[in-house]
Amino acid sequence: MNLLTELVAFVVAIGVLVVVHEYGHYSIARLCGVKVLRFSIGFGKPLVQWVSKHTGTEWTISWLPLGGYVKMLDEREATERIPAGDLPHAFNRQSVGKRIAIVAAGPIANFLLAIALFALVFASGVNEPAAIVAAPPAHSAAAQAGFQGGEKIVSVSDANGDDTQSVRSWSDLRWKLLSAAFDHGRVVLAAHDGGGTYDFPLDLSQLRSKDLDDDFMSRLGLEAGGGTLQVAGVEPGSAAERAGLQKGDRLRAVDGRPVDSASTFIAHVKEHAGKPVQLDILRGADQPLKLTVVPAAQRDDETGETVGRIGAALAAQAPTVAVRYGPLESVQLGAHRTWSIAVYSLRMFGRMITGEASLKNLSGPVTIADYAGKSARLGLSAFLSFLALVSISLGVLNLLPIPVLDGGHLLYYLVEAVTGKAVSDRWQLILQRAGLACIVALSAIALFNDLARLIHF
């Protein structure tokens, strides 16, 4: 069932993104008076096709739904003589400004779709984890900033306390810190701790470009907290069972430190292989108990190191906050989120080229299908947010100055606009081959990363 969900979600996602991208090209081409011969969704043998009586455009849905194209009338590609009446409607006879507009319309359509989807999510309202900090690991950046756990972050400022931005949820905090982390500087987090509002200066300089992935918050020692950590199950014969831990127990503290984050608890247990760990728990109707468990020493398959393990499954229930915005604010936030993600994507791609970031950040269709299915199971808002994210990635990718992509064609036309001369066919052919090799290499790396994630090698 999960596989079917992933396939359906993937096909829907790719279908929507391709239609929007290609319709951007199509609509501006028609507006500029260019004759469109074919609008195809997918590649290969057509499954469904029909011809518009009004425009003469052939609309096609093909069997391989991993892209699409818009074929316009162009003398350079014509296999037969073009009627004289159609020549003014050929793409190659349009001004350089019109050609730039037509080519740029596809990526722009993807960005506009992302803005609309984010705005819809913001306006409809979503429940997100509250920006409450769990007790951070010792010596982490969060601990050095002064966080002890339980503080609710309300705003982010620069190192001087200027440019203050309010924080509404944990995901909102993550995006703001991600943007700031690229500058490798410091930020000031204002947070409530029950006794008032205090400033916590957070140092982001320890983060390297390759660290800016899904786990960068954990590297800072920041985990969503404020909730309850419950034992969901105990393995027979495990250290947890020998200590007397039971399903339904609620963890309050470990070795005297408050704990409300599963990752914080697991990290503490891993560091104490063969050493006693004291747990403060609540059982039944809030009955307080103290238990001592000795984590069993076990080899970590990923790192090869010896770590502690108690054999208990945990379930975290973090507090959530309903986040809803007005129509105008939703559009503004949608545009800001789209811009932030696009800039982040470009920066990350640049760092991969210079070797500052790992090529493991590239993902292919398998990973996209996996996340499409996961987001679809989480609900409509999660799926729309995922769709917006991939739409931005598609727009950014197509704007890269690589021949065979929209960005490569834009580069040709910009050169023509500046020099007054079109790039020669010979140079276009050479660059086309180089661009194709580049795309094949990127696709191969992305597919390898997909397989590596799938079979864990």
Q: What is the pLDDT of residue 287?
A: 86
CATH number at residue 204: 2.30.42.10
Give per-residue pLDDT as tens, 283-317.
887 888 999 999 999 887 667 788 899 999 888 77
pLDDT digits (tens, 9 = 90+) for 172-200: 888 888 878 776 678 899 998 877 888 89
Orientation of helix 96-124 relative to helix 406-419, angle to 10°: 140
What is the count of structural domains for the chain? 4
pLDDT band at 112 (very low <50, low <70, confident <90, very high): very high
In the structure, what pLDDT confidence band is assigned to residue 266 with cuts at 50, 70 and 90?
confident
Q: How many residues does the chain have?
A: 457
Cβ partners under 8 Å of residue 414, min gap 6: 100
| pLDDT of 45 over the 80 cut | yes
CB 449 within 8 A of CB 365: no
Is residue 396 assigned to a domain?
A: yes
Q: Residue 48 has which token pair?
A: 């469904």
| Same domain flag for 115 and 5 | yes
Max CA separation in the chain (angstroms): 90
Q: What is the pLDDT of residue 96?
A: 93
Q: Pairing state of beta strands 257-258 and 250-254?
A: antiparallel
- Indicate whether 354 pLDDT > 90: no
Mean pLDDT of 360-366: 67
Select which of 6, 22, 128, 223 is catalytic: 22
DSSP string, 288-355: EEEEEE-PEEEE-TTT--EEEE--EEEEEE--EEEE---HHHHHHHHHHHHHHHHHHHHHHHHHHHHT
The domain boundary, picked from 311, 345, 361, lies at 311
Is 88 a domain residue? Answer: yes
Write down the residue that tokens 């069997």 correspond to. 63
The pTM (predicted TM-score) of the whole model is 0.70
Residues 269 and 245 in one domain: yes
Note the pLDDT of residue 101.
Answer: 96
Of the listed ranges 6-10, 70-74, 217-221, 241-245, the least confidently predicted one is 6-10
In-domain check, residue 12: yes
Q: What is the pLDDT of residue 357?
A: 65
- My answer on whether 346 and 420 are in the same domain is yes
pLDDT above 70 coverage of the chain, percent: 91
Please state the rounded mean pLDDT for residues 51-70.
86
Residues 28 and 38 grouped into a single domain: no
Give the pLDDT of residue 365.
66
Q: Among 311, 338, 359, where does a domain finish?
A: 311
416 counts as catalytic: no
Q: Print the domain residue range for 64.
A: 34-93
Which band of pLDDT confidence, cut at 50, 70 and 90, is reported for residue 325? confident
- Decide if 133 is inside a domain: no
As a whole number, mean pLDDT of residues 330-337 equals 89
Q: Which of 253, 282, 311 is the last residue before a domain boundary?
A: 311
* Range 42-53 average pLDDT: 86
Q: Is residue 320 part of a domain?
A: no
Whole-number Å distance between alpha carbons of 408 and 196: 55
